Amino acid sequence: MKTAVILISGRGSNMQALVDARPGLDFRAVISNRPAAGGLAWAQSRGIATRVVDHKAFPSREAFDAELARAVDAFSPDYLFLAGFMRILTPGFIDRYPRAILNIHPSLLPCFPGLDTHQRAIDAGVKLHGATVHFVTPALDHGPILVQAAVPVLPGDTAEALAARVLAQEHRIYPQAARWLAEGRVEFRGADVVQVRGSGVEGDWAISPRDPP
């Protein structure tokens, strides 16, 4: 069975979705950069090892990432899942785990990388918004896309209402991505394109809210 470590900074709702879905991965640990992250207690309640690497204790991103790497390597994971991990990782850390770090971002990348995606989508007048699971590269929020889910932007939407609809889809597609990895179905086509063997259209680019998981 392939193994994984999850990195969080807060309550870890996507972490909970990953673990509860039982996608066929051995989640060996949950690591947080914030000692007060609510997701740590939840992970402990599920019998998952937890660690804290407090970013405030380090003088630089490089020093923090070096200690984070030591914490990760203690569990020898095949994959790292970022689940609300609010740190920008250094290229040195990312290069240490090539094609093994995944993130879920609350927009249809490459649109709206970075923060405040829901309000930015509303302000831009787009008709579709959503979430993206992608492999992490040194370019922020621009790694190869594994799967996306779209939701409509409704008239009168607030950022909070739109965020709630997007989050429901995040909780669907992140476990699906984990399952594909566990089954060994994820294939790279060059440096920038990922496809899922045997999944048809669903695995190539998008899952709409009405499609089965």
pLDDT tens, the chain, 213 aa long: 999 999 999 999 999 999 999 999 999 999 999 999 999 999 999 999 999 999 999 999 999 999 999 999 999 999 999 999 999 999 999 999 999 999 999 999 999 999 999 999 999 999 999 999 999 999 999 999 999 999 999 999 999 999 999 999 999 999 999 999 999 999 999 888 999 998 654 444 444 444 333
Angle CA 100–101–107, to nearest 5: 135
Domains, the chain, with CATH or none: 1-98 (3.40.50.170), 103-213 (3.40.50.170)
- Is 134 an annotated catalytic residue? no
Q: Are the C-beta atoms of residues 135 and 146 closer than 8 Å to each other?
A: yes
For position 202, what pLDDT does the model report? 45
3-state secondary structure of 92: helix
- Look at residue 198 in the predicted model and tell me its pLDDT: 83
- Please state, in angstroms and rounded to a whole number, the distance separating the CA atoms of residues 92 and 97: 9
| pLDDT of amino acid 210 | 42
pTM of the predicted protein model: 0.92
Nearest to 132 by CA among 124, 140, 1: 140
Model pLDDT, residue 191? 85
Closest C-alpha among 189, 186, 188 to residue 178? 186
Q: For residue 199, what pLDDT is reported? A: 64
Question: Pick the catalytic residue: 55, 105, 129, 142?
Answer: 105
Assigned token pair, 31? 């690591």
Q: What is the DSSP string of 143-203?
A: SPEEEEEEEEPPTT--HHHHHHHHHHHHHHHHHHHHHHHHTT-EEEETTTEEEETT-THHH
Structure-token pair, residue 193: 């394109």
Spatial separation of the C-alpha atoms in residues 41 and 46, rounded to whole Å: 9
Q: Cα dist. 185→20, 98, 103, 192 in Å? A: 21, 17, 18, 17
Q: How far apart are CA 8 and CA 75, in angstroms?
A: 16
Locate all alpha helices (DSSP H) within 49-89, ordered by sequence: 61-73
